[in-house]
Amino acid sequence: MTRRLLADLGGTNARFALSEAGGPPQEERKLAVADHPGVVEAARAYLAGRTVEEAVFAVATPVRGDTVTFTNNTWHFSIRAAQQALDLERLTVINDFVAQAAAISLMTPEDLRVLKPGQPQAERPQVVLGPGTGLGVAFVLREGGAAHILPSEGGHASFAPQDALQAEILQRLRPLHGGHVSTERLLSGPGLLQLTRILGEIRGAAVPVESPADVSQRAASGACPICAEAVRLFSAILGATAGNLALTLLTGGGVYITGGLCRGLGPLLDQEALLTAFHAKGRFAGLLEAVPVVQVLRPHTGLLGAAAYRPRLMTG
């Protein structure tokens, strides 16, 4: 049987696993990106002398040609050179949210939390999005039983404020990011941290947070009203962004929110704020009424999607 190396390579962590003949991921392990000079070295550290015939790498960056340069870390590699260095018969490199999207059809009811029930349409597109170190987005088109996955860099589209507070936050962010502020600058782990600090500036109270985990912990404890406000605002921006994406491709098949950041927020993820912003689309709010919004609770879905990925059925 063909042994396949699976990798979900993000901005902060690199997750690896093995699979046999297209089976589910096994022997999963997480490595810190900062601990390894590149993807080949990280893969060798995981393999520890074991051999594989092929590999699927899901990478948190656009895949265009042979050279892969990550958006939110310093890694870069040549696909051909990595294949040779790891002695692989085949190396397939896909966007990390193509892998996330490939995993959606494999979810069980226990893997999912329905944030908003609806009437999914089997032949309409789905959108999968998730904040992490960055903001990933992909679309799924289903035709004749086959899934065609479209990669997207929707996370880097310009942030659109929904009210006066968000507009002020945008104005404060512009000088920090060279004028252009993408949605990812707010809707990510670093974005949640920056959002909290800017809210502190606006409210006239410094907030001693050094990580997204600090924000969620202080919000959960009730010790920091600004942290709690930041999480509510993060939830609203997530809902507004999901609504924008749903309108962009009329994703009647459903909206899926994935990733460890939202999963880690748990009950702090403000469902009411999220859904209010999701529906706030003026004259076209009615188009979103029947669209279900679902949170993926299962961890490591990127590895699951990499194991399931088949180039002949899924494009990405």
Write down all domains in the chain, each with its CATH number in brackets.
Answer: 3-101+301-308 (3.30.420.40), 108-297 (3.40.367.20)
The band of 309, judged by pLDDT with boundaries at 50, 70 and 90, is: confident
Which is more confidently placed, 82 or 206?
Answer: 82
**CB-CB contact of 315 with 148 (8 Å):** yes
Three-state secondary structure call for residue 47: helix
What's the CA gap between 215 and 264, in Å, rounded? Answer: 12
pLDDT, one tens digit per residue, over 218-232 is: 999 998 999 999 999
Helix and strand numbers, DSSP H then E, in the chain: 10, 13
CA distance to 95, 99, 228, per residue, from 128 (Å): 13, 10, 26
Beta strand 126-131 with 135-143: parallel, antiparallel or unpaired?
Answer: antiparallel
Neighbours of 209 (CB within 10 A): 22
* Residue-level pLDDT at 1: 59
Round to whole Å and give the CA distance between 27 and 141: 31
Query: What is the pTM for the complete model shown?
Result: 0.92
The span from the CA of 294 to the CA of 256, in Å, is 5
- Give the CA distances from residue 150 to residues 102, 147, 203, 255, in Å, rounded to whole numbers and listed in that order: 10, 10, 41, 15
Asked if the model's pLDDT at residue 313 lies above 50, the reply is no
| pLDDT value of position 311 | 63
Residue 243: its H or E element: helix 225-249
* High-pLDDT (> 70) share of the chain, %: 97
Q: Taking a C-beta distance cutoff of 8 angstroms, is the pair 311, 28 a contact?
A: no
> What is the per-residue pLDDT across 39-91, written as a single tens digit (0 to 9) for each?
999 999 999 999 999 999 999 999 999 999 998 899 999 999 999 999 999 99
CA distance 195 to 189: 10
Interacting residues of 206 by C-beta distance below 8 A, sequence separation 6+ = 200
CA quadruple 242, 248, 254, 257: dihedral sign: negative
End-to-end alpha carbon distance in the chain? 25
